Amino acid sequence: MTEVCVKRAYRYRFYPTDAQAAELSRTFGCVRKVYNLALAARTQAWARQERVNYNATSAMLTAWKKTEELAYLNDVSSVPLQQCLRHLQTAFTNFFGKRAKYPRFKSRKKSRKSAEYTTSGFRFRDGKLLLAKMTEPLDIVWSRPLPEEAKPSTVTVSQDPAGRWFVSILCDDPGIGPLVLTDAAVGIDVGLDHLLTLSTGEKIANPRHERRDRSRLAWTQRRLAKKAKGDGANRRKARRKVARIHARIADRRRDHLHKLTTRLVRENQTLVIEDLTVRNMVKNRSLARAISDAAWSDFRDMLEYKARWYGRDVVAVDRFFPSSRLCSACGTLREKMPLHVRTWTCDCGTAHDRDVNAARNLLAAGLAVTVCGAGVRPQRSTPGGQSAAKQKTSQREP
């Protein structure tokens, strides 16, 4: 069997010198400018019913560099500029394939500051990374080692709203591969009171990362709102303080989800989840903050790509499956299950915890689908029954 290496990005924080920070800031601005110019050109061509591809925009970039107005594009490495044109081509490919909306222009204040370098734009040797147009390697904090004999294919440098600098190194990771097969399977029911409830009966508490910093965040946001509008220094400082709190919350949430999903994937061969429409659920103004803080979508994304890495199976059960109203012991379906009912007893005499029972029903449905091979979405059991998604969005944050 041929061993296939998985591409994996390793993200590190680094501390640039003043000269490096200035060079990267210029590169970010040039990348944004070229992207917007190319998008405008392609939009105008599309209005004339003409198609412009990457090769055409690459030729435009060469012409732009020769003009007096855009001569400053020659001061930065050409590699990130070419890469942003490739990213624009990918955006249009996804748009024409009906997988994404029409590409949007990049804003100086709101867009992500990043630049991508391919192998011709950097040199990685002896644990030191040197980017094009720079004389010194980046001062990277190697929080974890790269794979042995790693050969990076791309390097992405970025700066987050909190002012922190990061470098993401993409390389082959031979350490990722299918794990030993196991018979273990688990059903996972997400919630707000408990982040996850497993079919084994285990309940994982919701850390509520945002609530821990809510008062501090509100105070800094009020301070920001009182600053004069514009691009003044005081407003920039206040905006950065808000961003630092958001970054701290996001870091804690991401770390917790990574540890949780890695553990679940390593312990189980089959993982059954509910196919919730989180995008619609956050429209509930009473629950939007709690659902966003729980990060159910991020949890599912991590679970799915780690399952692909390690040869595990993730099964998504249809959101209309009545997992809460179905007895996992005898299969009796109750007509109603009010949300305040957290424990109930079936006519067969089995006492149920609402969330544990739902997780067990999800597991049974997922295993049935896996055995039958009929897909990953069991059909709705009873027409007119309340969907699981609606039940989730009706819960109040405690």
Residues with a known catalytic role = 189, 274, 355
DSSP conformation class of 227 = S
The letter for the amino acid at 212 is R
Measured CA to CA, the distance from residue 133 to residue 121 in angstroms comes to: 9
- Encoding tokens for residue 267? 């312990």
Give the containing element (helix H, strand E) for 390: helix 388-393
Residue 39 φ then ψ, to 5°: -65, -40
Distance of alpha carbon 338 from its chain centroid, rounded?
Answer: 33
Task: Name which of 349, 315, 359, 355 is nearest 329 in CA terms.
Answer: 349
Task: Name which of 295, 294, 269 is nearest 363 in CA terms.
Answer: 269
Give the containing element (helix H, strand E) for 273: strand 270-274
164 CB burial (10 A radius; 0-12, 13-18, 19+):
middle
DSSP conformation class of 112 = -
Check: CB of residue 50 under 8 Å from CB of residue 174: no
Distance of alpha carbon 14 from its chain centroid, rounded?
Answer: 22
Check: CB of residue 313 under 8 Å from CB of residue 370: yes
- Encoding tokens for residue 49? 């019913």
198 CB burial (10 A radius; 0-12, 13-18, 19+):
buried
Got the DSSP string for 68-97?
Answer: STTGGGGGS-HHHHHHHHHHHHHHHHHHHT
The H-assigned helical ranges of 154-295 are 209-212, 214-225, 233-267, 278-281, 288-294
- Encoding tokens for residue 107? 């804003």
